[in-house]
Amino acid sequence: MANLVLIIIVAAVAAILLLIKTNSALVFLALCSGDVLVQFADKNMAYINGKLNSGLLPRHFLVSRPVEELVILLLPALLVAALAKHDQSLVKWPIQIFPALATGLVGVLVVVPLLSHSLQSSITANHFWSVLEQFQVPIVGVSVLICLAVVILNSHKHSFGKRHHKE
């Protein structure tokens, strides 16, 4: 059952990115940026948590460290997805499938370790997770290469190989 849930999550992320016609490669890179932010913020997370819970938020609304980490992780990707929606035309839709799937796969790999212990245990106890974990370095490496290639292809308004002369 958990295998199916993980597959549905990856497919749902990819489908949402494709449906809103966003640049999935940029969302992937923003997700990676969020992961870097979580890694660097780790040392200051107790301070951030203390400030949030001591006066910045109402007393009845306490934020736990995992929730803060999830927000820091996902916020850059969500902002890019929202700001870049309708950025891709239907012609470029097929090229966005691979970055969208990469975003879902890597998203699962970086989100699961931040979940509660019980939720994490139920996810990590299945076969699909063990395969993802076993191949996480190649998955991330290939995903980065695919997304960088898509960003490069999308950033050039002209075709490769043509020389442009100033007149």
Indicate the pLDDT class of residue 147, thresholds 50, 70 and 90: very high
Identify which of 98, 103, 100, 108 has the alpha carbon closest to the alpha carbon of residue 129. 108
Query: Is residue 22 within 8 Å of residue 15, measured between CB atoms?
Result: no
Whether residue 23 lies inside any domain: the answer is: yes
Q: Exposed, middle or buried by CB within 10 Å (0-12, 13-18, 19+), for 117?
A: exposed
CA distances from 85 to 24, 40, 134 (A): 10, 28, 33
Whether residue 59 lies inside any domain: the answer is: no
* 55-81 pLDDT, tens digit each: 666 666 666 777 888 988 999 999 999
pLDDT (average), residues 125-154: 91
Q: How many domains does the chain have?
A: 1
**For residues 119 and 134, what is the distance between their CA atoms, to the nearest angstrom?**
20
pLDDT (average), residues 127-141: 93
Instruction: Note the pTM of the prediction, 2 decimals.
Output: 0.81
Indicate the pLDDT class of residue 17, thresholds 50, 70 and 90: very high
pLDDT (average), residues 38-52: 74
Average pLDDT of the chain is: 83
Whether residue 51 lies inside any domain: the answer is: no
pLDDT (average), residues 45-50: 70
42 by DSSP, 3-state: which? Answer: helix
H helices within the chain, ranges in order? 2-19, 24-41, 45-51, 65-83, 93-111, 117-124, 127-134, 136-155
Domain that holds residue 126: 2-39+65-154
Where residue 108 falls (left for φ over 0; alpha for ψ -120 to 50; beta otherwise) is: alpha
Which pLDDT value is given to residue 21? 87
Which pLDDT value is given to residue 5? 82
